[in-house]
Structures are given as structure tokens and as C-alpha cells.
Structure 1
Amino acid sequence: MEWFHVNRSWMYDRCYIGRGGLKESFVNGVEEFVIKACQQQSYLNEWKLRCPCDKCQCTNIFPIEMVKLHLYKNGFMYDYHVWIHHGEQVPHVNDNDDHVRVSSSDVHVDESEQFVAMQDMVYDALGQHETFEPSNFNNREEPPNEEAQRFYDLLLEANEPLFEGAVDSKLSMCMKLLACKCNWNVPNQCLDFITTMLSDATPIKEGLPKSYYDAKRLVSMLGLKAKRIDCCVKGCMLFYDNEYGKNDGRLLQCKFCHHARYHDPKVGTSKRKPIPLKRMFYFPIIPRLQRLFASMQTSGQMTWHYDNRRPSGVLRHPLDGEAWKHFDQLHPEFAAEPRNIQPGLCSDGFNPYIQASAKPYSCWPVIVTPYNLPPEMCMSRPYMFLSCLIPGPHNPKARIDVYLQPLIDDLKKLRSGVQTYDISRKQNFMMQASLMWTINDFPAYGMLSG
């Protein structure tokens, strides 16, 4: 790629020393950046760009002229020689190519920028209101399906600026409030006080969240939902319905041990909300996998495993292993579609409380990881999806399969296919997934194997 060898030292040589003023090389370089960014991201709104200045750091989207002004005033963000947020990609480097190396620090993104992924999808959504012309070719572009379009519309609506010229939107303000609660364990009453204080101190009140509940409700409309499923206190069954004939959601006691579901035995006559004796959390895996195709940052990487098959004899990725090759031979139709997902599953127990506590507690998270991604991504934290959180206080042992039922139901749906929109190709397709393997220690291996 020619752009990788271009000298971009002008990006951090902005002003004349002692005299002030901008250097001509910097001004020309900013013009070059704007032109190339518009060319690389022609599928987006041609009048807006993500601002890579040192203050915004690619978290805000502004008109082109405002982006130029920000760059003239603040300069480029640290170590942005490769314009990864404006259409460029880090070139693939072979193991034998020692003359070109790209370290992780060359494309470093500050971990404190928690809102980059959200802004990426807002930026992608700007291109979903164009007219699509039919084509006779197989790679024709299509509008998003109804569910995907609804998500993009909600995303754009929530990302409207609070007022004309404002940097923040209602969505970004809600995200910051929720980040405050998660990072510093702020009580709900404190967040309600902050929202009231902001509303009283500003003349424009329409876009601001009125309470913590208001912020959480807006983000939950765009986010990924979680299900709370009541369990038998002994782990015999789940009080839950599915599409495969299981209708246990209204039972008041376990079918096997006949233990009560709720604390209050008179739940049928009381007007109070019943409190279950035990409850698990399930985070549906299908929308999380679909979200990987909803952003340009990840949708293009979901076919890495298909595009990088090499008979080199070197184990670089699970696709080079015998298990992956054997699976492809058994299921050639599944392997022929590069966007089909091949995830792995892992689980283990831990004590979320103080280790020296009098009563031991064993909590079991179940994590699903898609292995379509490159090696540096597929085992990183953003792509390790927590799917089940099995409560304690005891080890589920052989009854762990009871808690895995919602995940297995979703995997059955994925085996048949779920309609998904791929934003990198602008096509709808039937996304399938097949669980490849489990990763765990020997006690957990025995449990998962029955």
C-alpha cells in the first residue's frame, strides 16, 4: 500500500518556532488528509468527517471546515500516522517480511476513549439513507433490513446535537452518565442529582436526560439487552419459555424437586412484585454477533479467517489447526460462506466476593468468542462476549447444561441462519454459526462434557 510509505512528519510539525503561524506544509497536509479521507469513506456523508484533532481524538463528527479549524488549532491526535478511522487499514505483514513491522503502538488508541466504538456506528449510520440502485451483479448493494435500519435510525436520532454547534448529543451525555456509574460506582441518587443540576444550569433542557432512569432507557434502546431468568434454587430447571416447546415460564414451583420459585409463598394473592429465590442472567448472543457486521470497524474483519488461509505449515490462528480443517471438510457448504461464524466457548468458576469470606461462593461466567477475527482481535476483551452468568453459591456441576439452555437455543437458530446486514458490503445475508470447541480446565471440561 503506497500510503504506508508516505512521509507524514508534517502532521506534528505545525507552527513556526518563535514566530507563530502555521507552516505551509501543515496546511497543505491537512488539505491532503481531508481529500483522502473523503475518498476512502465515500460511502459516508460527504460533508462530514470524524475529527482527529488532539482534543476530539476521533470521537466527534463535524463538517469538513470545522475539522480543518480544529486541526489548525489543536493539531493531530498522538501517533495517528496511519489513518485507521478514516478508511486506511494496517497492512498485513508476513512472518518472513522483516523489513516492514507495525507494532501495536503505531496504531495506539487511548483506552480512556470509551465512546469511539459508539461514534463509529453513528458515522456508519450516516450512509444508510442513500438511494440504492438495483444491479444485475451478485455483489449488488442493498438497503439494510428492517431491524438494522431501525437501529441506524434510532442511533442517528439519539445522536442529534443538544443545540446548534454543540459537541455532545443526548446519546453521548447518557453514555457518560452510565460510564460514571460503572467506573466509580456512583449511586443512582447521585446521578439523579447531577442530571437535575445540569438541567437547571443550562437554558436548553430538551436534549438532556432528566434522570439516571431516563439515560439508561435511551441507551438500552440502542444497546444489547440482557435477560433475567428465574432458576430452581437447586438447579433442576429454568422457569423459561422457548420456541421449541418449552413452556415453564409461568410455573410457581420446580417440576422435579417441587421447591418454590419465589420467596413469598402467597405470590398469587399478593400485589407486590414477586422476588425469585434464584436468578441467572443471559445475554443473547445473536444481536451481539449481528452488531459485529453493523460497524465498518469490525464487519470487514469478520472474513479474515477466510481470506488468510495459507498452506505455510505455521500455526498462526486456529484456522491453521487440524480441528478447523476437519470441520471444513465435514461441512463444506458452511465453510463456503466466509461470513459464517465459528465461535468457541469457555467457562470457569470464581468467587466475586472477598476470598477470606466465611461462606465460599462459586459464580460461573460463560464466554463466547468468535474466531473469524484476526489473532490480535479474537482474544481481546471487546470480542469476548459474556453470554451466561450462572449464580452460586454452589458449583453447578453436572447441571450446568440446565443453565446453558438459552445459549443452546440461540445456537440452534444460528445453525439455520439469521438475517443480518453487512455494512462493509451493503448486503443482507443469512448469518450462520457453529460452535467449534470449548476451552476450560479439566474440572470444567468434565462438567461441560456431561
Structure 2
Amino acid sequence: MDRNWMYDRYYDGKRGEIKEIFKLGVALFLKAAKRSNIVISEGGIRCPCASCDCRWIRSEDEIKYDLYTKGFRPNYWIWTSHGETIMSDPPASSATNFGAVYQGSSSSSAPIVPAQNYQHYPLNEMNHMITDALGIDTNEPLFEDSTDSKLTVCVRLLGIKCNFLIPELAMDAIAKLVLDTTPIYARSDFPRTYYEAKQLVSKLGLGVKRIHCCINGCMLFYNNEFGVNDGDLVQCKFCQEPRYRQTKNSRSKRGKPVPRQAMFYLPIVSRSGELRHPSDGLAWKHFDQVNPDFASDPRNVRLGLCSDGFTLYTQASATPYSCWPIIVTPYNLPPEMCMSKPYMFLAAVILGPSSPTVGIDIYLQPLVDDLKRLWEGVVTYDISRKQISS
């Protein structure tokens, strides 16, 4: 029995009526889960519904109710949280386009259509690639009997700092305390400060670029592979305004000239993952008709761009100063997920003091370049299937 039933709960045109094959599949899932060593060791079954996401242990009746009402978590073909490893043949989907994601108003996600240009890529070889890129062994434990590596600890510490707004000096003190009171102190290569941890994690490709801008928003001073070579200009080629601040003493020696205006860009190519389409909508259907090749591969990402300004330092300064974040969100995800915090990619930050208004397209050039690269094809690795595609 294949697993297409996992994302096909309702009868067509009969909202709320669960298909018998879905009920049978849920019963088989519970029967298989109860026999797994993971469930036996944990003392219960983790609920795989879209809400619980395998985080909470529930009773069989609660799991059955959640699956009937909320559906399985997205793309949970391999029941890894319930004792399964890797399936020999990934289940085929009956959906042939993006329009078959939902049945009625179901919140469950559609199965991903196995792409034809996937090629198998061994997990051990992938680990070696990560090791070579980061210069560290991602699987090497910090000390004997430890389940964490140097990379995972750094990522977790940086996550704690961001979530709780901990100052850098406090993070340095916490890191020193951890090093002094655990066997990690014996490792000379472990990051000692927040800066060193950030440098290590930055090798994952989650960096930020600072791009100089014209003070009037006419252009960006940067280069790309699409014909723009303005990185060495010292004045705007449209309004002739200087790129850098003018100093009173032109002969004074400085390390680097200070730009009059700059923006921050966070590349999205390195952060794009495996996403899904919400279902319908005239815009998507029209796009599918105009670009049938793009629509035929469900792994292709459809991004939505949004931005809004807010005023900084409202109490500290009488002069308004706005900041405009540029956010990219994948519309491939279900509606309740695509605009949630984990799936909103901060792509750029446009500094004030006023809004970019009609000149915002100038500041979007680096993002458009990344979108062009994605359109031409970027090699990605599907960790759930252990395969690479482009």
C-alpha cells in the first residue's frame, strides 16, 4: 500500500467526510508505530499531525482525532520519528501539477511529485562535503559520550542569543562558563567568544552583504554576472552625487571611506529549501499556462515579496527615521505557514531616513539577481531523500 492516502483525506465535494482509505492508513500507521523501538523507549507515540509535528506524545485516540482534523505533517513520507529509516522507493504522487495540493479546505499539504532529474547522493559523501566546506567534522562529538558537535552547539547558542536578545558580552560570559565547567575546555579549537562562534556558523552561507547606494536612491554600487559593473564607481552615474562622505581634511588617512548610504542584503539562494504550493488561484493557473516547463516540476519555488517601513528610535529622537525590511516568503507552503515567522526570509534592509517610495526597485536589484540565479537553476540537496537536483 503506497502512502498517497496520507495527503488525501476528504472525498471530493464532501467537506468533512474522511475517506475510508485514510482511516485504514491511520490504523496501519498506529499499528506499525506501536511496534517500533523508538516508541517503546519513549513510552508513547508522537503525534505526526500538522500541528503537533511529532513534538508531543499523545494517546492513540488523540492522534487519530488530530490526523482526521489536521492531517499529517508536510512531506512525512518516511516515518522517521516512529522508527522508520529510509524507504527503498519513495511513494509516487497522483498529483501532476500544483493545483492538486488541497482537497476542499483541508490544511494538509500535498505530496511532492518525485522529480525525474534527481540523482542519488550517498549521505556519507554529503557529510564529507559539509566537512570540507566548514573545515570541521560535523559528526565529531565534543567529548566522549556527547551527542552534540562543535557546529550544533554554536548554532544553538546563536539561536538562544537571537531569541532572548542576549548581549554579546553576556554570550561571551556564558561561553566561558560552559568551557570552564564541562569537558569541552580540553578542546583548543572550540569557539571562545560570540564572534568566533558567528564566524564558524557563517561558513554555512548564511551571511549578509552591505551594498553602497546612491544618496538619492538612483543606483547601487555593486557588480553582478548580469551586466552590472558599478562596484568601482565613486559617484552616481545618474545624478553625479558622490558615493562617499566628504571629509574636511582630504589628506587625512583613513582605513576605508564611509558611504553616504548603504543597505544590507541577505542572499536567499543559500537559504531556499524544499517547498510546496498552496493549491489554486488564478495567478498560479495563468503562470502554469504561460510557463508549462516551470509548472511541471513541483520543487520550483514561487516567492512573494513584501515590505513595510517602521520608525526607529521613536522616543530617543524627534526626527523620524524609517527602516524598510524586504521579506521574501514562499507561497508554495500552505496559507497558515507561508506568512509565519519560520518561513519569512529577510532578504534586505533599506535604511532611511525616509521611505524609498518609487525608487524601491533600485534597492531590489540584488534580490532580483538571486531570483535570476534560481530561475536558471541552483543545485540543492534533499536531505529526506538523500538526493541532489538542480
- If the length of structure 2 is used for normalisation, what is the TM-score? 0.67
Q: Distance in 2 between matches of 1:281 and 1:402?
A: 13
Q: Distance in 2 between matches of 1:268 and 1:232?
A: 24
* Residue pairs, 1:361-372, within 5 angstroms: 361-372=321-332
Counterpart residue number, 2:129:
150
Code of the aligned partner of 2:129: R
1:135-166 CA deviation, whole Å, 9 max, x = no partner?
Answer: xx957742279999633766882353210112
Q: Give, in angstroms, the shift of residue 185 of structure 1.
A: 3.2
Hey, which bits of structure 1, 4+ residues long, moved more than 6 A? 6-9, 144-149, 266-269
1:209 aligns with 2:191: yes
Q: Distance in 1 between matches of 2:367 and 2:191?
A: 34
Counterpart residue number, 2:145:
165
Q: Distance in 2 between matches of 1:166 and 1:148?
A: 19
Does the 8 Å contact 1:144/1:421 carry over to 2?
A: no
* Residue pairs, 1:230-309, within 5 angstroms: 230-263=212-245, 265=247, 270-289=253-272, 292=273, 299=274, 302=275, 304-305=276-277
Counterpart residue number, 2:169:
189
Instruction: Describe the shift of the 1:337–1:99 C-alpha distance in structure 2 as closer, same or farther (beyond 3 A).
Output: closer
Q: Give, in angstroms, the shift of residue 279 of structure 1.
A: 1.4
State which of 22, 28, 48 in structure 2 corresponds to 1:82.
48
Specify the SS of the correspondent of 2:48.
coil
Instruction: Describe the shift of the 1:425–1:176 C-alpha distance in structure 2 as closer, same or farther (beyond 3 A).
Output: closer
* Residue pairs, 1:338-377, within 5 angstroms: 338-354=298-314, 357-377=317-337
Specify the SS of the correspondent of 1:101.
helix
Specify the SS of the correspondent of 1:165.
coil
* Residue pairs, 1:41-52, within 5 angstroms: none
Q: Which has the higher helix share?
A: 1
State which of 336, 344, 354 in structure 1 corresponds to 2:296.
336
* Residue pairs, 1:14-93, within 5 angstroms: 32-34=35-37, 68=41, 71=42, 80-82=46-48
Q: Distance in 1 between matches of 2:263 and 2:242?
A: 16
Q: Give, in angstroms, the shift of residue 282 of structure 1.
A: 0.9
State which of 221, 225, 230 in structure 1 corresponds to 2:203.
221
Does the 8 Å contact 2:312/2:320 carry over to 1?
A: no
Could you list the runs of 5+ residues in structure 2 that have no partner in the other structure?
1-21, 56-64, 74-79, 87-114
Does the 8 Å contact 2:48/2:67 carry over to 1?
A: no
C-alpha RMSD over aligned residues: 3.9
Specify the SS of the correspondent of 2:230.
coil
Instruction: Describe the shift of the 1:272–1:147 C-alpha distance in structure 2 as closer, same or farther (beyond 3 A).
Output: farther
State which of 314, 318, 341 in structure 2 corresponds to 1:381.
341
Instruction: Describe the shift of the 1:268–1:82 C-alpha distance in structure 2 as closer, same or farther (beyond 3 A).
Output: farther
Q: Distance in 1 between matches of 2:258 and 2:382?
A: 41
Code of the aligned partner of 1:273: K
Instruction: Describe the shift of the 1:172–1:270 C-alpha distance in structure 2 as closer, same or farther (beyond 3 A).
Output: same
Q: Give, in angstroms, the shift of residue 283 of structure 1.
A: 1.2
Counterpart residue number, 2:27:
5
Q: Distance in 1 between matches of 2:350 and 2:25?
A: 49
Q: Distance in 2 between matches of 1:168 and 1:339?
A: 32
Between 376-385 and 179-188, report the one with greater CA deviation. Answer: 179-188
Q: Distance in 2 between matches of 1:99 and 1:210?
A: 45
Does the 8 Å contact 1:144/1:428 carry over to 2?
A: no
- If the length of structure 1 is used for normalisation, what is the TM-score? 0.59
Q: Give, in angstroms, the shift of residue 331 of structure 1.
A: 1.3
Code of the aligned partner of 2:224: N
